[in-house]
Amino acid sequence: MQDLMEQLSQDLHAATTADQVEQIRIAYLGRKGTITTLAKNTDFSTLSPEEKKEFGQKLNDLKNRATTEINKAMESAKRSLLTKRKTREIDLTAPGNDRRLGTLHPITMTQMEIEDIFEGMGFSVLAGPEVESEYFCFEALNIPSDHPARDMQDTFWLKNNLVLRTHTSANQVRTLKRFGAPVRAIFPGRCFRYEAVDPSHENTFYQCEGLVVDENISVANLIAVMKTILSEVFRRDVKVRLRPGFFPFVEPGFELDLNCLLCGGKGCPTCGDGWIELIPCGLIHPEVLRHGGIDPEKYSGFAFGIGLTRLAMMKYGIRDIRYLNAGDLRFNEQFLPIF
């Protein structure tokens, strides 16, 4: 039995992992282990009662000592594994984890900047649904049923006559109904059109709509606000032109075009003829005010729809609209947040 104990000590000494120690435990104390089977392999008939008793005691003693040794070896094998792990954790020579800092998307940055400017002029910033009813998207805006915007070719129609809103103007009558007059608000957001995609057209893009309704609002107020916005956004002199434009929900309606900052007005794939239609606008049509529950005899107002995506392209010199939705981090990471 003494030999067995020595053999066990030697085996445990050579073991370096918890697995190896477990194998040794099985070899000695398992069901078919050397110690477990010791009693079975002994011929008790040759032993006197005293000898039997002594054998039993020695066997018990052996089992206890073997168990203690094995447990000790098991603990130290586990401890050395832990130490190894800890050492690895503080290995200063190991390469670090690459944690990439995100950046804001150029459209997000432009939107945040526009919101700041309008908030400074007392406008509220609102949001409306992207899935919109035909009523708010078209009917309430005086857009007749034979207008091309109502056609399947231009608009994503959903079930139950719902649409993906084709413009943020859809939020105009919602805002009038909710806040009444006087009101000053902008509502930036995503719009959708069933478009063939090219460098200047996307099926998904951003606008920032806004309106002011109060007593005695005129085209002069509209032009003053637009001028302030443009000078704050570009912080330099930019060339603009105002020309008549037709939209069923404004009367009179205008197109405020920006001389293209990408080509200096010479003409390029982004602008075409040197001018970018940046802010269509006008005085709100009396019919639209009525839909909003506002008396056109008492109140008037102006509305505008800034092409937020186009504005971001001009501001950051982006020549192809398709980069904006492509999700390519190499593109997105080029633009540093402005704050």
Parallel, antiparallel, or unpaired for β 183-192 and 275-284? unpaired
Question: Which residues inside 30-69 make contact with ligand DAH, applying CB under 6 A?
Answer: none
Q: Shortest gap between Cβ of 211 and ligand DAH (angstroms)? A: 7
Residue 280 binding ligand DAH, by CB under 6 A: yes
**Residue 150 binds ligand DAH (CB under 6 A):** no
DSSP β-bridge partners for residue 284: 250
Identify the residue among 62, 107, 294, 303 touching ligand DAH (CB under 6 A).
303
Q: How far apart are the first and last CA of the chain?
A: 80
Q: Applying CB under 6 A, does 175 fall inside the site for ligand DAH? A: no
- Residue 275 as a binder of ligand DAH (CB under 6 A): the answer is no
Q: Judged by CB, which is closer to ligand DAH: 35, or 278? A: 278
What's the distance, CA 139 to chain centroid?
Answer: 33
Q: What is the nearest approach in angstroms of ligand DAH to the Cβ of residue 138?
A: 11
Tell me which of 128, 188, 189, 282 binds ligand DAH, using CB under 6 A. 282
CA 101, CA 276: separation in Å to the nearest integer? 34
Contact 208, 188 (CB under 8 A): yes
Our CB check for ligand DAH shows the closer of 244 and 317 to be 244
- Residue 148 neighbours by CB under 8 Å, 6+ apart: 154
Tell me if 308 contacts ligand DAH by CB under 6 A: no
Q: How many whole angstroms separate alpha carbon 215 and alpha carbon 272?
A: 39
Q: How far is CA 125 from CA 112, 227, 245, 284, in A?
A: 11, 20, 26, 19
Q: Which residue from 25, 165, 167, 310 is in contact with ligand DAH, where contact means CB under 6 A? A: 167
Burial class (CB in 10 A: 0-12, 13-18, 19+), 234: middle
Distances (CA, A) of 231 to 174, 219, 227, 304, 317: 30, 18, 6, 17, 17
Q: Which is nearer to ligand DAH, 169 or 309 (CB)?
A: 169
Structure tokens at 94: 């190991």
Total interface residues for ligand DAH by CB under 6 A? 12
Point out which span in 113-121, 177-185, 229-237, 276-284 binds ligand DAH (CB under 6 A). 276-284
281 is a site residue for ligand DAH (CB under 6 A): yes
Nearest CB to ligand DAH, comparing residues 9 and 204 = 204
- DSSP per-residue letters across 248-314: TTEEEEEEEEEE-TTTTTS--TTTSSSEEEEEEEEEEPHHHHHHTT--TTT-EEEEEEEEHHHHHHH
Q: Binding of ligand DAH at residue 187 (CB under 6 A)?
A: no
Task: Select the span of 42-50, 225-233, 247-255, 323-331 touching ligand DAH (CB under 6 A).
Answer: 247-255
Candidates 11, 69, 134, 209; binder of ligand DAH (CB under 6 A) is 209
Under the binding rule (CB under 6 A), the answer on residue 247 touching ligand DAH is yes
What is the number of the residue whose Cβ is closest to ligand DAH? 305
Contact stretch for ligand DAH (CB under 6 A) within 33-41, 181-189, 268-276, 297-305:
297-305
154/226 Cα distance (integer angstroms)? 28
The partner residues of 191 in beta bridges, in order of sequence, read 205
Residue numbers at the binding site for ligand DAH (CB under 6 A)? 167, 169, 209, 247, 250, 253, 280-282, 303-305
